Amino acid sequence: MKPFSARRGGGAYVSLDQLEARLLANLAAQVAELVRDGSAEPVGPQDPLEVLVGLGEGPVQPPDDPVLQRLLPDAYRDDAEGAAEFRRFTEQGLREGKVRNALTVIESLTAGGMTQDEMQVSDVEVDVDLDADQVQAWLRCLNDIRLSLATRLEITEDDDRRSAIPDNDPAAVLHDIYDWLGFAQETLVQSLGD
pLDDT values of the chain reduced to their tens digit, one per residue, 194 residues:
899 999 999 999 999 999 999 999 999 999 999 999 855 444 444 555 555 555 556 677 888 899 999 999 989 889 988 888 888 888 888 999 999 999 999 999 999 999 877 656 667 899 999 999 999 999 999 999 999 999 999 887 766 666 678 888 888 899 999 999 999 999 999 999 87
Query: Residues with Cβ < 8 Å from 178, sequence gap 6 or more?
Result: 146, 149, 150, 153, 155
Output DSSP code: residue 58: -
Q: 163: buried, middle or exposed (CB in 10 Å: 19+, 13-18, 0-12)?
A: exposed
Nearest in space to 122 (alpha carbons), one of 135, 107, 112:
112
**How many angstroms separate the CA atoms of 56 and 46, rounded?**
7
